[in-house]
Amino acid sequence: MQVVAANQPVTALDVSTDNGNTWQGTQREDYNYFQKAGGGGFGVDTLTVRISCSNGAKVILRNVGVADSTSYTAPGNC
């Protein structure tokens, strides 16, 4: 996954497979994408994504699909 057009530096991207009850961290790659540490998928078709920014703000997106070449617009920005 990649975060585009954030107005603050992104410090973390976490995902949840249970609508935000628990969170799994991701690893930022050199090419500015976030991936599950150790590779592989999350085993579901949609995720809840939590983006953390350098100013302490967090943005949560629900029902984010994991299919290739899809994009989602966040409800806000950092």
pLDDT digits (tens, 9 = 90+) for 6-62: 999 999 999 999 999 999 999 999 998 999 988 888 999 999 999 999 999 999 999
pLDDT digits (tens, 9 = 90+) for 67-78: 888 999 998 898
Distance CA 65, CA 55 (A): 27
**Token pair for 26:** 């991701």
**Could you tell me which residues are beta bridge partners of residue 27?**
35
Rg of the chain (C-alpha set): 12
Domain ranges of the chain: 10-65
Distance CA 26, CA 56 (A): 18
Distance CA 49, CA 20 (A): 8
